[in-house]
Amino acid sequence: MARILYFAWVREKIGSPEDRFTLPQSVDSVERLLAHLRAKGEPYHSVLADTQLRVAVNQRYAQASDALTDGDEIAIFPPVSGG
């Protein structure tokens, strides 16, 4: 079972800190996970359409093409700005 964590305004707009579910076989990459979540409708669709979002898989920054397996921890968060 994958654990998808949402942070900052992503969490606020989705209305939940996390989702847990078994990844369908077709969801084998970060890009496909985001598409799968957007297909759930609102608020996922509009929130996850933001191309500036960052994703980490098992606490490491990930690219859209990075592979996923069931049991991964996936974090989705806005870009971090410093000052």
Looking at residue 20, which CATH number applies to its domain?
Answer: 3.10.20.30
Q: Provide the residue range defining the domain that includes 59.
A: 2-77
Q: Is residue 83 part of a domain?
A: no
Q: Is residue 12 part of a domain?
A: yes
Residue 64: alpha-carbon gap to chain centroid: 10
Give, as one character, the DSSP assignment of residue 40.
T
Per residue of the chain (83 residues), what is the pLDDT tens digit?
A: 999 999 999 999 999 999 999 999 999 999 999 999 999 999 999 999 999 999 999 999 999 999 999 999 999 999 876 65
Q: Which residues contact 64 (CB under 8 A, 6 or more apart)?
A: 29, 30, 31, 34
Record the pTM: 0.93
Q: Is residue 62 part of a domain?
A: yes
Q: Is residue 52 part of a domain?
A: yes
